[in-house]
């Protein structure tokens, strides 16, 4: 009871402080200091804000709410602008929208939105698009009464009668699986909690397999078999991943013949398979795990097709008989190309589609099985994003793929692999008079400290003058080998139409130039990610695209780590920084194996229990490297229920920045108290977060319209 009174008094005093001050003299919350000694390798760090880790402590909640109050007070002059931006962004979206249907097992599946509603409606039609619509799941109805709602993993049984799906109402990415009878509309008794959010059907229509999470670390580590006629208390554990650096999952081959259990870490994979007609059988290992051996399985005919890095840094495609699956039986189908990174494949009866990345750009190569003749798709723009979409039918001559660029709205395209004709099934409709000919996008190249060429994809309204007066926003990520391909965003138009240059920096840590580009931005090479980004910022300034007085930087999650690092290293380059759900307390987090994702990421960041990695991580960890210096204006966002980056990392970081920094620039922390890593659920609620971010930028530049 004493704690509750203390926390309420704390919040009341903060509120009085804020309300009693004019906008020009609003004082931010001042987090108390409780020294916590953290010692390893003979080195002791003092963490004054470690107490903010206590999620259940009412004083922590009060502090986060006080920070929200402060953010709201500082941004109060932008309320009308935020509302304008929200309406502007919403007005570009076609509210009564529908996805392009795809056919699978006798039904056409699609999702649609209705005007004024936040969530999708999942539908299907039997045999023909002229058939009556069946609504499988109306997420709007399910979401009623919830501040956050996410439905995921929709999977229909082979006989088309049952739907399995997952629900998360907290935003902790911890789902409960439900099963719905699509003929009667009734829910079956099943409600299987603490899962990853999807179930895979065996071919008997009566058995599902699902993945359980560790309740503390949230690591996916157990796979269970559930029979619909039985209570879930009788579910059978068919696999447990005991290596804490691995996570596990289950899927089904495109052929529907095999169930696959996959286990993966940053550097290694292992698969097991089972005939989907025999769900009570034993899974067999395809190739035992070896450190550094990565592989991914597809099935066609009598063979497994395997994308792998064995003797191939940029990956290659091999095949092996289903009866002889270990690596000594693997035969090359597509050898490694040192100049092209093999990202994905799609198998058809008559064709093999290969998705590659060459010189940073997506390419698709169509290979005819009968004679090995091949051709490439031509995408026709200087910088773009193209990807294989949903293709469930082996017999089809049509390849469905997605395409987008910084100026071209996302399109769904069917490509006839025989006639080589493209049919645009749908291009995202952008309302409000959008004309892509008003905008220009291109690739430009900065030079890294070590001479490497770093690509940037940029977009702006035509007629841009390179006189250094343009505001600009540069975005980066640079981790896990995840490449930030340029894609269209209708919300981004609010920046472009106000004269902004928008840039994506393809820094090391991505796989933009292949696997080595990733290797050069991880572990003991991680600082390349940060210096690459700063080199890109310098280049934009040198070339007259913008100036340090008008340049903003943004990144989220591991990209938030990037933001924290550049803020410490080169604060002079940026007018402002937005760090979304930022991973900034690197050393402490990676030393705590109870925190979600820690053990599975030692091969990405290093294990600080090794002194070499400890010292290197400590040298760039944004929280540890905060110092007495001027920093740019900063907006830091997080979610109380974030399962990927815990809320206390950004909260501690902001508290330490407030204590150390020597400038008077604004520093804001906004915590979504109802959401997690992905922010608000709902189609339009997320737009309010975009509007908040833009308003922060505009306020710093004095833009009021």
Active site residues: 557, 642, 677
Residues 489, 505: Cα–Cα separation, whole Å: 17
The answer to whether residues 140 and 117 touch, using CB atoms and an 8 Å cutoff, is yes
CA distance 645 to 637: 11
Q: Label the pairing between strands 150-156 and 134-138.
A: unpaired
Q: List the 411-416 sheet strands across, edge first.
A: 385-388, 398-404, 411-416, 422-427
Closest C-alpha to 157, from 196, 126, 200: 200
Question: Kind of pairing, strands 295-300 and 303-308?
Answer: antiparallel
Calculate helix-pair angle for 611-620, 527-542, nearest 10 degrees.
20
> What 3-state DSSP class applies to 659?
helix
Cβ atoms of residues 475 and 502 within 8 Å: yes
Nearest one of 64, 52, 60, 49 to 656, comparing CA atoms: 49
Strand residue runs (E) in 564-689: 576-580, 633-639, 667-672
Residues with Cβ within 8 Å of residue 544, at least 6 apart in sequence: 465, 466, 467, 468
Please report where in the chains the tokens 């407030």 appear, as a residue: 658
Give burial (CB, 10 Å; 0-12/13-18/19+) of 464: middle
Host H or E run for residue 614:
helix 611-620
DSSP per-residue codes, 97-119: -BPPPEEETTEEEEEE--TT-SS
- Residue 516's alpha-carbon distances to 233, 293, 340, 507, 520, in angstroms, are 47, 16, 11, 12, 6
The sheet carrying 121-126 orders its strands as: 102-104, 107-112, 121-126, 134-138
Count each helix (H run) and each strand (E run) in the chain, helices first.
13, 37
Pairing of strands 102-104, 107-112: antiparallel
What separation in angstroms does the CA of 589 have from each of 172, 373, 402, 617?
Answer: 18, 51, 37, 11
């Amino acid at each position: 009871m004493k704690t509750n009174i203390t926390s309420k008094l704390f919040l009341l005093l903060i509120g009085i402080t804020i309300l009693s001050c004019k906008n020009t003299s609003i004082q931010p919350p001042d987090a108390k200091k409780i020294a916590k000694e953290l010692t390893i390798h003979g080195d002791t760090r003092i963490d004054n804000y470690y107490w903010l880790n206590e999620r259940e402590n009412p004083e922590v909640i009060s502090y986060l709410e006080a920070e929200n109050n402060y953010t709201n007070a500082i941004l109060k002059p932008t309320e009308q602008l935020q509302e304008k931006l929200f309406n502007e962004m919403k007005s570009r979206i076609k509210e009564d929208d529908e996805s392009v249907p795809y056919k699978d097992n006798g039904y056409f599946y699609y999702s649609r939105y209705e005007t004024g509603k936040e969530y999708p409606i999942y539908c299907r039609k039997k045999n023909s698009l002229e058939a009556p619509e069946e609504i499988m799941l109306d997420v709007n109805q399910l979401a009623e009464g919830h501040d956050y709602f996410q439905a995921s993993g929709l999977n229909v049984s082979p006989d088309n009668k049952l739907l399995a799906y997952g629900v998360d109402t907290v935003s902790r990415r911890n789902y409960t699986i439900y099963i719905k009878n699509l003929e009667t509309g009734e829910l079956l008794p099943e409600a299987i909690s603490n899962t990853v959010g999807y179930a895979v059907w065996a071919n008997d229509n009566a058995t599902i397999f699902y993945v359980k999470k560790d309740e503390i670390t949230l690591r996916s580590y157990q796979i269970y078999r559930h029979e619909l006629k039985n209570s879930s208390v009788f579910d059978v554990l068919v696999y447990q991943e005991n290596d804490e650096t691995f996570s596990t999952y289950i899927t089904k081959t495109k052929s529907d013949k095999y169930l696959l259990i996959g286990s993966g870490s940053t550097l290694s994979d292992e698969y097991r398979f089972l005939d989907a007609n025999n769900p009570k059988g034993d899974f067999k290992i395809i190739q035992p795990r070896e450190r550094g051996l990565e592989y991914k399985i597809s099935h066609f005919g009598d063979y497994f097709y395997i994308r792998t890095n064995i003797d191939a840094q940029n990956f290659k495609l091999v095949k092996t008989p289903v009866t002889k699956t270990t690596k000594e039986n693997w035969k090359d189908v597509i050898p490694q190309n040192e100049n092209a990174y093999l990202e994905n494949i799609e198998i058809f009866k008559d064709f093999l589609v290969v998705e590659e990345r060459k010189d940073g750009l997506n390419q698709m190569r169509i290979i005819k099985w009968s004679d090995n003749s091949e051709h490439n798709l031509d995408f026709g723009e200087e910088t773009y994003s193209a990807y294989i979409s949903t293709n469930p039918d082996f017999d089809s001559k049509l390849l469905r793929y997605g395409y987008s660029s910084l100026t071209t709205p996302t399109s769904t395209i069917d490509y006839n692999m025989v006639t080589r004709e493209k049919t645009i099934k749908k291009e995202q409709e952008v309302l409000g008079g959008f004309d892509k000919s008003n905008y220009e996008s291109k690739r430009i190249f900065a030079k890294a400290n070590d001479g490497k060429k770093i690509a940037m994809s940029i977009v702006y309204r035509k007629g841009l003058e390179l006189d250094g007066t343009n505001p600009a926003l540069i975005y980066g990520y640079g981790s896990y080998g995840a490449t930030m391909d340029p894609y269209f965003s209708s919300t981004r138009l609010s920046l472009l139409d106000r004269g902004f240059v928008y840039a994506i920096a393809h820094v090391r840590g991505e796989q933009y130039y292949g696997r080595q580009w990733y290797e050069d931005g991880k572990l003991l090479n991680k600082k390349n990610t940060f210096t690459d980004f700063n080199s890109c910022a310098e280049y934009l300034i040198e070339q007259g695209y913008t100036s340090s007085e008008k340049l903003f930087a943004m990144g989220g999650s591991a990209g938030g780590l990037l933001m924290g690092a550049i803020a410490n290293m080169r604060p002079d380059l940026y007018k402002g920084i937005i760090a979304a759900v930022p991973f900034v307390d690197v050393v402490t987090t990676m030393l705590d194996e109870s925190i979600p994702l820690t053990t599975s990421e030692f091969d990405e960041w290093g294990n600080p229990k090794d002194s070499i990695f400890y010292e290197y991580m400590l040298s760039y960890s944004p929280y540890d490297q905060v110092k007495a210096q001027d920093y740019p204006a900063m907006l830091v966002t997080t979610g109380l229920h974030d399962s990927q980056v815990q809320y206390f990392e950004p909260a501690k970081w902001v508290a330490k920045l407030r204590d150390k920094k020597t400038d008077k620039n604004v520093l804001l922390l906004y915590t979504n108290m109802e959401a997690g890593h992905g922010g608000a659920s709902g189609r339009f609620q997320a737009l309010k977060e975009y509007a908040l971010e833009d308003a922060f930028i505009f306020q710093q530049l004095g833009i009021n319209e």
